[in-house]
Each structure stands twice: as C-alpha cells, then as structure tokens.
Structure 1
Amino acid sequence: MTMTAIGAFLFGIAIIGMLDGIVFHQILQWHSVNMHTDRIHQIMSDGYFHLLVTVVMFASSILLWKGDPKEPPSGFWGCFFLGAGAFNLVEGILNHHLLQAHHVKPGPNQVWFDISYDVFAVLLLAVGWMLYRRKTAA
C-alpha cells in the first residue's frame, strides 16, 4: 500500500470518527463512549475519543501530504471509504454488541439502531472496495 492509500484510509477513520462524535455524542446526545458512568466521565470519555481522532487526522494529513500526487482519485476515495467502513464496523461490533459499552440509541429499539449502524458500515466498505478495485484495474 502506498502512503497515499494509508493516509486516505486513516483520513476515512478520522472523518467518520469525528462525525460519530459530533452527531451521535454532541448534537443528538444519544450516547457517549462510556455510558456506564456519571455525566462528567461520559464527557471525558468523549473528549479522549475526540483527541484520538484528532491524532489520527494529523497522522493521515502527514501521509497524504507526503504521498503520491499522481494517485488516481478513485484510489483515494476507495481507501477513504474503506477506512470509514472499517472503523464503523469494528466500533459497532466491539462497542455495541460485544462490550455493550454503549448503543447507537439506547432504548426499546436499540438493537435496530445498532444493526442499522453495522449495515451502513458494510455499505461504506462496499463503496470503498468498488472504488479501490476501479483504481487497481486502471
């Protein structure tokens, strides 16, 4: 894999992580990274999550900056969506299903919200894979 591909993959992780934190944690306030504690520690866990995502964003920026400017756009976007989908799928399986750290939206329909999150992750992976294959076929 090229530096551009790794950078785009990490950039996808960072962007989807930021969107998750902004939309689900802050705007909708459906959950925090650690729901099984008081509100102060929930906010702290979200802050650590945002700090980690910012570090990933910084690392991806360096790799993209040093990467090949001739990389086809489909290669960038393919790796971007692969990173975003991988993050959501791993996060969904680990935090929502295995560890039960939190659910997308706790409550009576939480299983359906969690499964919808996983399905969205698989769609991101499929789009990423199709774009990446288009890059490698060219």
Structure 2
Amino acid sequence: MKTTTMGAFLFGVGMIGMLDGIVFHQILQWHSVNMHTDRVHQIISDGVFHLFVTLIIFVAGILLWKGNPQDSPRTFWGSFLLGAGSFNLLEGIVNHHLLQLHHVKPGAQQFLFDLSYDVVALLLLVTGWIVRRRTTSA
C-alpha cells in the first residue's frame, strides 16, 4: 500500500475519531467511551480515546509527509473517506451493538441513532471507494 494512501486512511481514522469525541463526547455530552462507570472514569476513558486518535493523526502526518507529492488528490480524499468510514463502522458495530459500551444517544430511539451512525459510516465508505476507483481508472 502506498505511503500516501495509508497516511490519508489513518488521517481519516484520526479525524473522524476526533470529531466523534469533540461532538458526541464533549459538546453534546451524549456519551463517553465507557458509559457504565462514574463520571471521573468516563472522562478518563475519553482522554485515553483522544490520546489514541491523536497518535493515529501523528503517524498519519509522518506518512503523508513521506508520501509522494505527485499523488492525485483523489488518492488522498478517497483514502481519507475510507479511513473515516472504516472507523465509524467498526466503532459502531463493536461499541454500540456488540459490546454496548455506549450508544450514540442513549435513551428513547437509541437504536435509530446507532443505526444512523452506521448508515453515515457506509456512506463515507461508498463515497471513498468511488473516489478511489476513479483515481485508479483515470
């Protein structure tokens, strides 16, 4: 796998993880990584999550820096969207459905919120795949 492709993929993973943490954990305060504990441990679990996605963004930056500047912008954006969609789908299936560590918005209609999250992940994946496919066919 090309350095630019992997860097952009990881950048997508890190950025969507950061957006998840900022929007759902901090601004809306709908959930934390581990909802089934006290507030102090919820904040710690969110901090560990943010540290993890920050490290992913750091590694992505190094890979992108080492990547080929001649690579198509479609290579970057397609890989970025594939990374973001992969993170959201994996996180949604594992944390929301299988382990039930948390839900997008607990309470009434939590399944619809979780399902909507999964649909957005699939849209990111399909869009990224289309963009990448156009890169390879051009």
TM range (shorter): over 0.9
Q: Which amino acid aligns with 1:113?
A: F
Deviation at 1:108, TM superposition (A): 1.2
Query: 1:6: which partner in 2?
Result: 6
Query: 1:42: which partner in 2?
Result: 42
Query: 2:32: which partner in 1?
Result: 32
> How many angstroms apart in 2 are the aligned matches of 1:109 and 1:38?
24
Q: Identity, % of aligned pairs? A: 69
**C-alpha offsets along residues 54-99 of structure 1, whole Å, 9 cap, x if unaligned?**
0000000000000000000001000000000000000000000000
Root mean square deviation of aligned Cα: 0.3
Query: 2:72: which partner in 1?
Result: 72
Query: 2:117: which partner in 1?
Result: 117
Q: Which amino acid aligns with 2:30?
A: W
Gaps of 5+ in 1: none
Query: 2:92: which partner in 1?
Result: 92
Say whether residues 1:104 and 2:108 are aligned partners: no
Gaps of 5+ in 2: none
Q: What is the TM-score normalised by the length of structure 2?
A: 0.99
Runs of 4+ displaced beyond 3 Å: none
Secondary structure of the residue that 1:101 maps to in structure 2? coil
Query: 1:60: which partner in 2?
Result: 60
Q: Which amino acid aligns with 2:20?
A: D
Deviation at 1:34, TM superposition (A): 0.2
> How many angstroms apart in 2 are the aligned matches of 1:134 and 1:63?
23
> How many angstroms apart in 1 are the aligned matches of 2:136 and 2:73?
11
Query: 1:82: which partner in 2?
Result: 82
> How many angstroms apart in 2 are the aligned matches of 1:133 and 1:68?
19
> How many angstroms apart in 1 are the aligned matches of 2:54 and 2:95?
20
Deviation at 1:10, TM superposition (A): 0.0
